[in-house]
Structure 1
Amino acid sequence: MGLDPHALRLYLVTDRALCAHHGLVETVTEAVRGGVSFVQLRDKDATTSDRIALARALKHALRDTPVPLVINDDLEAAIVADVDGVHIGQGDISAADARARLGPDKIIGLSCDTPEHVRAADPDIVDYLGLGTVFPTDTKSDHKPAIGFDGLAELAALAPCPTVAIGGLKQGHAARTLAAGCDGIAVVSAICGQPDPFAAARALRTELEETP
């Protein structure tokens, strides 16, 4: 264990439909060039074999960078593609089972949207927590009710490991996200849905770096 919290500072969650204009790999490549520090491959509609292929392409694109790559929910794809780890939700495989399958050196992220979830997270098993949904978002139809920045601060204060905020976050939200106690901000459409992913990532990164 021991994920550097700074790796979570600008966390990109992919959306293949939103990335269609540039393509997923090109969008991620440009976003990382602009300052993205962590990438989660999320594609709820893909098959495991599709995710493996996408993950391998992203892994190749990120090979000369320090940026970790994890896969959302699909442990098999994460193992076969040999990416840096997996991000799981409360209804997926348990963190303990994921750790048993992945071994001690891979990254495990866990989504938490209630104080009970955060308190139950074991820092000896989980590397970081994804906290939210902060705001309603069109990129995830099954999210829980939005918690806002007050709810985010409540969860962050309880967290036993590094945290990243997720859910409808965009440029202009960095200061309040960090003030709530999170180590980073996770975005989807704020980068994937933009005409210039590099410029979008650079603007977000600048905002984060200028936040006291």
Structure 2
Amino acid sequence: MIDDFPYRLYLVTDQLACLERDFFWVVEEALKGGVDIVQLREKELNEFAFIRKAERLKIICDRYHVPLIINDSAQVAKNVGVAGLHVGQSDLAISKAKEVLGKDFPIGLSIEQLSDIQTLESELAWYYGVSPVFSTPTKTDTRTEWGLNGLQELQKISSKKLVAIGNIKIQNAADVIAAGADCLAVVSGICSEQQPAKAAEAFRMEIEKGLKLKNR
């Protein structure tokens, strides 16, 4: 089991957020700018198309020595041979996914409320995706908005690294890290920017500011 989670800037891909630009160009630019882990999230593609896209993306990620994570689909993760899987509360249980991928395969888990970390399944997680820190208009099925205070409370009791997701922007990035996040997951804040590499660089700078605030 890979217990360590040293990553700071986590790109969660979104084809629509790329604003009709080449998806693979956007991701590669983000990697050049400092993204150090990538999750491929594809809710609309069939399994065959998902695998083909993942295979192509893995080639790019491997070039930059950046791990590729698959969202939700254990079968795609197994077929492509990626570094990890991410599941939500309503997705395949981690224990079931490990039956497909192996007991030591790294699997991240979305946490929507404090009770989500009080289960046996949650103990199997590689990291916790804290979702959402701030509400977004595009995701309406979440149970709560964590906010900075909720993130601070979770950080006090969590045994896992915390990946913050949900309306993470340059303007709030340092505060989110200072409040207890170990890593920022960004979607449109990188994918939709005119220069994804510069956006990623800016997030890395804010993460460093947040770490200094946290360590005071």
Given that 1:13 and 1:39 are in contact with CA atoms closer than 8 Å, whether structure 2 keeps it comes out as: yes
Q: CA separation in 2, counterparts of 1:139 and 1:77? A: 25
Alignment length (residue pairs): 211
Map 1:84-163 onto structure 2 (within 5 A).
Answer: 84-120=83-119, 125-163=124-162
* TM norm structure 1: 0.92
- CA gap of 1:144–1:4, structure 2 versus 1, over 3 A, is same
Q: CA separation in 1, counterparts of 2:98 and 2:53? A: 23
Aligned to 1:2: 2
Higher helix share: 2
- CA gap of 1:54–1:3, structure 2 versus 1, over 3 A, is farther
* TM norm structure 2: 0.90
SS of equivalent residue, structure 2 residue 42: coil
SS of equivalent residue, structure 1 residue 172: helix
Q: Which amino acid aligns with 2:23?
A: L
Q: Which runs of 5+ in 1 are unaligned?
A: none
Aligned-residue identity in percent: 39
Q: CA separation in 2, counterparts of 1:123 and 1:60? A: 31
Given that 1:15 and 1:188 are in contact with CA atoms closer than 8 Å, whether structure 2 keeps it comes out as: yes
Given that 2:67 and 2:83 are in contact with CA atoms closer than 8 Å, whether structure 1 keeps it comes out as: yes
Aligned to 2:195: 196
TM-superposed CA distance for 1:6, in Å, is 2.2
Q: CA separation in 2, counterparts of 1:93 and 1:64? A: 30
Given that 1:113 and 1:133 are in contact with CA atoms closer than 8 Å, whether structure 2 keeps it comes out as: yes
Aligned to 1:172: 171
Alignment RMSD: 1.7
Q: CA separation in 1, counterparts of 2:131 and 2:84? A: 20
Q: CA separation in 2, counterparts of 1:138 and 1:49? A: 30
SS of equivalent residue, structure 1 residue 29: helix
Q: CA separation in 1, counterparts of 2:144 and 2:123? A: 29
Given that 1:177 and 1:184 are in contact with CA atoms closer than 8 Å, whether structure 2 keeps it comes out as: no
